Amino acid sequence: MTETFASAAASGPSVSPALRVPAAGPAEAAAFFLSRLTFQADVSDVHLSLESGAPGFVLADSRSSASWAQGRIPGAVHLPTADIPARAGDLLDPAVPVITYCWGPACDGATRAALALARLGYRVKEMIGGMEYWIREGLPVATDTGTERRAADPLTAPVAAVTCGC
């Protein structure tokens, strides 16, 4: 039992571990969640947007050349984070929003790329889940030899529908 639980237990009813820090009020929560949606897009929404043929954004892969060759999202532009200052102006239209991605949720490469682009004046979002969740959802992956699609991971993606319905 942690000291927090010991103190709570000694002074009255126990506090839920999930509520040791109380939930924010509705206005604060709304501002926070709107902020997340302003800065992030999920894999499924990016895929559906790309499939529409008029996504309204450019998808930028911020990984290395070796990673790009290993597999990438079809239609993405290859723009490694280190190259953004020198190449963004040649590859991106400042009037079109950019969505960045990297390997996955344990990698902050997409965040660093989004920061670099924002500092250059681009409107930018980060694709949460990155390449890992793109693949786990069974979405197409392009290589120099073609495009493949693996089965969706049934523990992390909807397998009977295009989206989770949320």
Tell me, what's the pLDDT at 156?
A: 78
42 lies in some domain: no
Sheet of strand 77-78: strand arrangement:
40-42, 124-128, 98-101, 58-61, 77-78
pLDDT digits (tens, 9 = 90+) for 20-46: 999 999 999 999 999 999 999 999 999
- Asked whether residue 144 is assigned to any structural domain, the reply reads yes
The CATH number for 152's domain is: 3.40.250.10
Q: Does residue 125 belong to any structural domain of this protein?
A: yes
Q: Is 107 inside a domain boundary?
A: yes
- The answer to whether residue 64 is domain-embedded is yes
Q: What is the pLDDT of residues 68-100, one digit of tens each?
A: 999 999 999 999 999 999 999 999 999 999 999
Q: How many structural domains does the chain have?
A: 1
In a domain, 129, yes or no: yes
| Domain coverage including residue 127 | 55-166
Asked if residue 36 is part of any domain, the answer here is no
Mean pLDDT on 138-148: 94
